[in-house]
Chain A
């Protein structure tokens, strides 16, 4: 494997690695968002606390994995174009994930203060901690896009708004927004999902 390929895979997820904190901070500053293995585990625990339980553990885990992939693929400063009627081109702001490690660490500390790791608490206790964190961050609705104010809100935003599965879940129908669905069946009502 070429050195460059190996480094790319390390940074973007094919090879699970544990980054020293100093390196992680440095890479985050450079705009390369790094999610360590420990943070991935915390995100999975958070997902099982705030996403619908009816998704089941496997799908919840998938959402967490997709969110990590989304974080890794985020490119600060990339061309966002210009909206119609807006003449000023926009660039992607810094990664919303920049403060996720500390937000996850704060949730973990709060959990430890209750006597267990966040992942080991029961769901209602986890939700209580998340609710307090969101209250403290003055977040009362799920943002339309992850914006970095809090990782829990952004995870919900990712599922319900960015990921088309979230839309299908809300409408309980297989709209499948992200798929190229063809014209043949477009006149049919979307299949109901339980």
Chain B
């Protein structure tokens, strides 16, 4: 880092990273502590360009262009990471907005099943934060039919109506004996929730042109307009610095990417690392100093450990049921039938079960079986004769648990343009997960087969995920500093004014989409951070 005197910014709170957890924490702190000075730093850029979203959408449809151009930083990548997104809003710019809750079993793995660990949070408390997360983002959904999924509050908005194809597929899925429902989503089904539009079923949620889908850029724009935060984008924080002679963090130091010769330094009373599952651990490891030679918050060597996610299997199923694709392509069905597993079951297996409509996997061919050339109407007729009435895509995210050495490390052989080693993530399962893996996969395949049989359908292809989806971990929460990085609120065991929020703190990734849980635990962290601050702000 440059030896020049840094440009210094001071605030009460410095939040590093501007993804969804950051947005939620910034918003809540500003509500709980009016007048609090908050600076949010983000390595990527802000893309506050709502009026042009229809144009970006059209370019994506026509040419496959990135609908969020420049939402990544050249060279700032790593081995084993899932997403390159670095922009204000983070990965939740692109997200499909699925807002499934985990279940109590996820938090009680040790006490119910004798495997892995329990979370240091009570389900009842997390459930109340799920409700808050759903209100904050604006989630539409219908209650699950399972008693174990009971809610203390209704969904903020009614469920998205099932498109015609999904209604057919729900009937099909339920023939196998398992209830399906529309996936709860952070998409407006009424006009005006949070000042945003109602979903118009544009089918391109990667970039929602109407703003019906929640994404954190809306929150940041609003907080900026209300002057509740300062947002420093293009700012890559490279180190956290401890106060001399203390274990509190005094500053975050980095670089403004447009002015790389100048070092910027953020001084604050409280630091919140909200940099997602990759860059949170990465920053802590990069911040090694003589008193913490393995990185900050890493006295017991737990930073970067227990990186997690869920494994998945997908199949394409040909059906006799008439189904049209693309009616609402980013909306699907879920069954929570397999979220629970009796503690006495021979095999511990938990997974979600999803259905989407799909395009037939049959190409348009230029010659028929007799070798006659096909064009135009003949080609279309030939295709229609070869497809089945409907095609579905089914998927199960199944619960797997990380080994301690499922880890993020610094890779000295790959450095970014500022000379910092880049992250390398290697996911590894614990022994219990490895032991049951083959039986788990067989169970999922049996479920798919039963579904296909119920319509005399046929499984065309099966895909085994080669990575863990909805990744989390690296700064595991827990009560024991020898096996965790932070407490249940994200406060690091080693530094009282340093918090990590969201995905990195999760001990496991459950068996369904993680974002709602990332937000729920972040909101819980925000309450604790607010309690730790003086009432008057500055």
Contacts and interface: CB of A to CB of B under 8 A. Distances in A.
Interface stretch (B220-228, B373-381, B496-504): B373-381
A175 interface: yes
A177 interface: yes
Contact of B66 (A70, A79, A131, A182): A79
B383 interface: yes
B202 A180 contact: yes
Interface in A122-171: 127-128, 130-131, 134, 139-142, 145, 153, 156, 160, 162, 164, 167, 169-171
B167 interface: yes
Of B63, B81, B161, most buried by chain A (CB within 10 Å of CB) is B63
Nearest to B58: A178
Of A73, A160, A186, most buried by chain B (CB within 10 Å of CB) is A186
A189 B78 contact: no
Contacts of A140: 365-367
B201 A52 contact: no
B299 to A, nearest CB: 31
Contacts of A141: 363-366
Interface stretch (B17-25, B244-252, B284-292, B321-329): B321-329
Categorize the interface residue count of chain B: 35 or more
B200 A170 contact: no
A70 B328 CA distance: 25
A79 B329 CA distance: 24
B63 A87 contact: no
Contact of B375 (A49, A80, A164): A49
Interface in B305-328: 324-328
B164 A170 contact: no
Interface stretch (B68-76, B112-120, B477-485, B518-526): B68-76
A111 B227 CA distance: 69
A175 B327 contact: yes
Contacts of A177: 203, 326, 329
B160 interface: yes
Given A87-B81, A183-B199, A162 B375 contact: no
Nearest to A48: B376
B364 A156 contact: yes
B341 interface: no
B68 A81 contact: yes
Contacts of A170: 380, 383-384
Given A162-B61, A164-B326, 8 more contacts: A84-B83, A87-B81, A89-B84, A167-B326, A173-B324, A179-B202, A187-B164, A190-B164
A-B pairs, top 9 by smallest CB distance, nearest first, are A81-B66, A131-B373, A180-B200, A180-B202, A141-B363, A52-B376, A142-B364, A177-B326, A52-B377
5 contacts: A82-B66, A85-B467, A160-B380, A167-B326, A170-B380
